[in-house]
Structure 1
Amino acid sequence: MSGYDKARRRARTVFVTAALAPALLLPTTAARAAQAADRTAAPHAAAQVGLLKTTSSAADPAAANPWIVSLGDSYISGEAGRWAGNTNRSSTETDALGPTAYYDNPTNTGELIPFCHRSKSAEIHIGGGVDSLNLACSGARTSTFTDSDGDFKPGLDFYNSGGHQGQALMLENFAKTHHVTMVAVSIGGNDFGFGDIVTACVEDFLESTPIRTYYCKDDPAVTGRFSPANVALVTSHITQALLNVRLAMARAGYPDSSYKILLQDYPAPLPYGSAFRYSQSGYTRQSTGGCGMWNDDVDWALNTAMPHVSAAEFDAAARSGLSNIVKLDISSAFNTRRLCQNTVGLLEEKGLNSWREPGAVDKTEWINQIRVVTVGTPYFQQESLHPNYWGQLALRNCVRQAYDNGAVRGGSCVMSGTGLDTRGEPNMALTDTTVLAGVNSSGRLYAKQGLYSTNWSDLAQSIRHVAVASDPVHGAVIAALDTSGNVWVKSGGLHVAWVREAVGCDQVAVATDPVHGVLLAVRLTNGSAWAKQGLANGWVHERDGVSQISVATDFAHGPLIGVLDNQHVAWAKEGGLSANWVRQSAGVYQIAVAANPLRGPLIAVIGGGSAAWAKEGSLSANWVREADNVAQITDASDAVHGPLLAILDTRKVLWAKQGSLTGPWVQEYDNVAEAAVATDPTHGPLISTVDTARAWRAKQGGLSTSWVYQLGEITQASVGS
């Protein structure tokens, strides 16, 4: 779109607004007046720097009571935590905390820093004998600034001027006199311009006409925020913010080993376009639902923008070099409870009159509506598109499980059931998505979750091959091929029941992602390949004359299938089970595929002369020659760590590389019989090796980390994460 077109449609804003209900569009006089009303209505505390404890004070750093502290932006400060669900009727129906929801001064009469919105429902307040302090601030970036309304926004730095302090300095001062055991951090969204992006997307939805549709996904001012240069810049800022946390704690006398930094990403606030309960025709999506965005824009945000933000956060953790960072993945925490999702509704749409009614937590949204004009109401515009009361309590449950009585652990947090637990919080589960499964020399199948776990489950017997996959929503997925040619699958954990999916098979492959679900593929003994995505769906005949099959899937691109035919030609397809096959290469003897939501497909093959080749980004990308004298190749990829390749050479030496197809190889292990790999944004690379003595080892987190012995007498193993 030209600059002239952009300027012209901005000028039309007033006409669009006049034609709609008065609570719709952002850049109007009414909206600006509402912002002013919001600000004059909220009490300003006289002191803008201070600390509010949630329970009794700790005496000194050696005190018995541990403290946990939150730093960062609105997604951890508790923004929107006052409201339980959404309604277009009286605000009293969803008002869970009342007008003092964001007050955090010692007398509960105002905010220590106006508009930081540190709510009483904020996730950091886990209770149970653990004291907590919320230093986060709505609107915060990595560095301190004052916004266009004159409101102070402390960053994760040591700013100290005019009575204002940065969050790192506040942490340092607090930690000197309190026993801090964990610092929870959420930062980076505002460095990417979260608010401006939402504004642009809503404007584009409302300003489109029957003859011209405007998309924020096509706006250079929006997409430019996710250019490689800007992503690298923001990543460096987040890295420095994390180093500032360490410096603050070091100045307060804490060695790295004495506390953990819990770094969380962001929950997806909206569903994919196909799962909205309001049509994108007309204006109902915004005027009723408060979610005025085009399907294509929402899909772009979920598939491109948010993965870039999460990748920047977790990449920054790696670049910081800090050994005490633990990662909390909450990207799928609000699945089925997102704003305008067709699985939930407004109170009035669900026949509810109050957030207190039984079942309200399961029938209503956990994300606050986009309210762009709030004059005459108790709402704030800055509450828009943030986790509400239910969402905050769900995240609190996640943080409590991550804290784990001081033995802080990471993982992915998702809903584990309906209703509320005994604390009045939504039921959530923090799980380690790492899955390891191996078949021993007697055909018994053993599996576990977590690299360091010793809780092996004896799952089956008479098994000749196993394939595993995992994602935060569907959990562990195990596909087993027995000695009679039956394929059995269990999805959702190690202890769910087996389901027989196919008969007459001699190969099985499996993958999964949070959006498309489980992708299962088999090769029948007659050489035909079949696949299904979603275990409840039917089988699709993919190809005949197949000698090998490999699969992958990611939430942005959907299924990726690679096959090797009987003529040694490699083929691949992406995006759907009925997509067209694309010829990859001839003279191929082995194929492996992997999927990455940001970088696209990864395909690796062994060709003539035992040479290994790989390509990334598209099915038509150029091949890169990786190595010679290769006996086995396997691959994986994720949005943070990039492509992971592992090869077993003809001398039985295992080599691996991650991050680039042109990077150096790292020698991993000798006397290897077979290898398997996986990778994910939270844990990084996972490499499995079975040696020639049938000893199974694995490592996770980096190519140079230590190997961990798993089991003996293993003939074949698979890993997923």
Structure 2
Amino acid sequence: MIGSATPVRRNRPLRLAVAALTTLFAVLGFGSGTGAAHAASGGAVVSMGDSYISGEAGRWQGNSDTVSGSRSGTDRAYVNGGYDPTVVYGPTYSSGCDRSDTAEVASAAGLPGARFNIACSGATTTNVLRAADGGQSYKGEAPQADQLAQIAANNAVRTVVLSIGGNDLGFSSVITACVEDYEVWYSYCHGTQQQNIAAALPGAMANVGRAIDSINAAMTADGYTAGSYRIILQSYPSPIPRSAENRYPESGWSRTDSGGCPFWNGDSDWARDTLIPEISSALRTEAQTKGVQFLDLQDAFQGHEVCAASAQLATSSQPPSPVASEWARFLTTGATQGTMQESFHPNAYGQRALGQCLSLIYAQPTGDFACDNTPGRDASGMTLTALP
């Protein structure tokens, strides 16, 4: 229902094929840490987990509905008159891990040591665990905690940053269901999806805890002691705004045709004000249980979400900018711009903002923090607030 009224079927050809929607991207997805090599200057930082930290969608800076050329300057892979995603994702484009050059750990300023990004788009907690703990390889790579062990044996790892849990919760299925309910079934998704999330949340958070335990085990096996390194568990920023902050009306099809945010108001409000905060709260509880730091990112993209009223699409006369543009990738079927799996992930602007958040919490050796942006500023306006 929309307010108190049931959504009404509209007579209009669908722009998004049902077949494409039912196979919608894995929404969440995200190198080679200090045993014998404790002499590394400053200590290394290792980024682990899923797509929200691997750098998925870093190909894009803002969004544009222009489908040719540089897409109004938003496509960073447009080079020499063609498209080469490897200039952004390097060799990980072929595997689908999509570690971009603007990924959080790559964008963070002021980190004195080496940086390693072993996160992979689509990863679950099972792909983080050591093989000895039941971990599984993914996209041709060893479990991430085993990769961490190799890094830690040769580098003085001081910080491990982890983003995980979204794929365990079935985030992809949630997004797919909500898009289909807007485009195909003209009904709300949030009632059923809230039930699905509630059922999956305890198990997913238990798996996040297992992943933290496995990371600690890998570090201990390499000779690290408690207190010689730290783990920062982070939550997820909301890629879409609440309905009152959407620049497109709910009626008509501008949310699909131009905006790339095909969600009913009720589902948008649920996602922004219930789902994302609920996941953040659960992750913080798990971080506290395991004695690791927590970085709350749920409001990091406030005002820069896909279709936010305070942001805009890039055009030939209004090029993209980190102040005026969206910080998350809009929905694409993959037919005209990039790949489907990039949808609703932090784009290059968003990743630089998250990198600034990492820089800020890196300077805080203890404590839990929320990271937010400053209206009218780019990534340099990100600020930390201590959580009680």
CA distance in 2, matches of 1:19, 1:416: 40
1:25 and 1:408, CA in 2 relative to 1: closer, same or farther beyond 3 A? farther
Structure 2 unaligned spans of 5+: 2-8, 26-30, 79-84
RMSD over aligned Cα atoms:
2.9
CA distance in 2, matches of 1:419, 1:168: 36
Q: Is the 8 A contact 1:141 1:156 kept in 2?
A: no
SS at match of 2:181: helix
Instruction: State the match for 1:316 in structure 2.
Output: 286
Which amino acid letter does the alignment assign opposite residue 58 of structure 2? G
Instruction: State the match for 2:358 in structure 1.
Output: 399
Instruction: State the match for 1:226 in structure 2.
Output: 197
Which amino acid letter does the alignment assign opposite residue 313 of structure 1? L
Deviations 1:373-418 (A, max 9, x none): 222x4511111011111100011011011111x8465411111353
Q: 2:174 aligns with which of 197, 202, 205?
A: 197
Q: How far apart are 1:96 and its partner, in Å?
A: 3.2
CA distance in 2, matches of 1:100, 1:174: 24
Q: Is the 8 A contact 2:18 2:184 kept in 1?
A: no
Deviations 1:396-452 (A, max 9, x none): 011011111x846541111135344xxxx44211232xxxxxxxxxxxxxxxxxxxx
CA distance in 1, matches of 2:102, 2:153: 26
Which amino acid letter does the alignment assign opposite residue 103 of structure 1? Y
Q: Is the 8 A contact 1:270 1:338 kept in 2?
A: yes
Q: Find out whether 1:247 has 2:217 as its counterpart.
A: yes
Q: Find out whether 1:369 has 2:330 as its counterpart.
A: yes
Higher fraction of helix: 2
Matches within 5 A, 1:653-668: none
Q: 1:346 aligns with which of 301, 304, 313?
A: 313
SS at match of 2:376: strand
Give the structure-2-normalised TM-score.
Answer: 0.84
Matches within 5 A, 1:431-446: 431-432=385-386
Instruction: State the match for 1:134 in structure 2.
Output: 117
Matches within 5 A, 1:581-600: none
CA distance in 2, matches of 1:234, 1:326: 19
CA distance in 2, matches of 1:161, 1:364: 37
Q: Is the 8 A contact 2:109 2:356 kept in 1?
A: no
The percentage of aligned residue pairs carrying the same residue is 35
Q: How far apart are 1:250 and its partner, in Å?
A: 0.9
Deviations 1:19-55 (A, max 9, x none): 133xx245249x86x98xxxxxxxxxxxxxxx269xx
CA distance in 2, matches of 1:257, 1:123: 24
Give the structure-1-normalised TM-score.
Answer: 0.47
Q: Is the 8 A contact 1:231 1:308 kept in 2?
A: no
Structure number with higher relative contact order (C-alpha < 8 Å, ≥ 6 residues apart)? 2
Instruction: State the match for 2:89 in structure 1.
Output: 103
Structure 1 unaligned spans of 5+: 2-12, 36-50, 105-109, 145-154, 433-682, 684-720
Instruction: State the match for 1:27 in structure 2.
Output: 19
SS at match of 2:115: strand
Q: How far apart are 1:306 and its partner, in Å?
A: 1.6
Q: Find out whether 1:412 has 2:370 as its counterpart.
A: yes
Q: Find out whether 1:337 has 2:304 as its counterpart.
A: yes
Q: How far apart are 1:291 and its partner, in Å?
A: 0.1
Q: 2:293 aligns with which of 302, 321, 326?
A: 326
Instruction: State the match for 1:167 in structure 2.
Output: 144
Q: Find out whether 1:122 has 2:65 as its counterpart.
A: no
SS at match of 1:19: coil
Which amino acid letter does the alignment assign opposite residue 323 of structure 2? D
Q: 2:381 aligns with which of 427, 431, 435?
A: 427
Instruction: State the match for 1:479 in structure 2.
Output: none
Q: Is the 8 A contact 2:51 2:122 kept in 1?
A: yes
Which amino acid letter does the alignment assign opposite residue 413 of structure 1? C
1:161 and 1:117, CA in 2 relative to 1: closer, same or farther beyond 3 A? closer
For these two proteins, the number of residue pairs brought into alignment is: 360
Q: How far apart are 1:301 and its partner, in Å?
A: 1.5
Q: How far apart are 1:365 and its partner, in Å?
A: 0.6
Matches within 5 A, 1:65-80: 65-80=42-57
